[in-house]
A and B are shown apart, each in its own frame.
Chain A
Amino acid sequence: KQEVTQIPAALSVPEGENLVLNCSFTDSAIYNLQWFRQDPGKGLTSLLLIQSSQREQTSGRLNASLDKSSGRSTLYIAASQPGDSATYLCAAETSGSRLTFGEGTQLTVNP
């Protein structure tokens, strides 16, 4: 059974700092790895999807990498801003379009 772990559980940084969020998964037989953002009391917003054949994806200040062999993905946020404060979730897609989620990293960017 796939298990997804995110470290750290919470992170507080000053504005402008570059930061890395970590995600690990136990079963490398995945179709893709997805990163989401969740604001308090809201649903999830898709940020990046890395297919199993890809190594990384970029969108603006966000860059996500995938190393299937080691069961790891990282989300890199450049020049963080207070508006980046949210919970970031990673999820591994396995057969049947099913996602297994990590518990998330709660990010606070201080002005």
Chain B
Amino acid sequence: DVKVTQSSRYLVKRTGEKVFLECVQDMDHENMFWYRQDPGLGLRLIYFSYDVKMKEKGDIPEGYSVSREKKERFSLILESASTNQTSMYLCASSTQTGGNQPQHFGDGTRLSIL
């Protein structure tokens, strides 16, 4: 089974802090994704990556950056955390097979910015 592991289930940080969310997958997937999920807004794509050192902006990249130094690890960085970044963050991975394989998700990190 594909395993996508997010480093923290719950995280509380203060406004202005630099926050790192880590995600690791064990299936050698090329694609990795970061979403945030908010009531009434659904899941929105923040950033994604097709390969090591590569990154692409999603729909809401402002205030975030990412790092992919190794194929199995994709990190989301909140440069200077703000209260409007309080949310559920979900990481996912998938293989590049022309659309016949689903994305696999981690259990999520519920981040609170005080």
Contacts and interface: CB of A to CB of B under 8 A. Distances in A.
A49 B101 CA distance: 7
A57 B92 CA distance: 23
B105 A43 contact: yes
Contacts, number: 61
A98 B48 contact: yes
Interface stretch (A14-22, A62-70, A73-81, A100-108): A100-108
Interface residues on B, range: 20 to 34
A101 B107 contact: no
16 contacts: A31-B98, A31-B99, A34-B102, A42-B108, A43-B90, A43-B105, A43-B107, A44-B90, A46-B103, A51-B99, A52-B99, A96-B50, A96-B56, A99-B43, A101-B42, A101-B43
B108 A99 contact: no
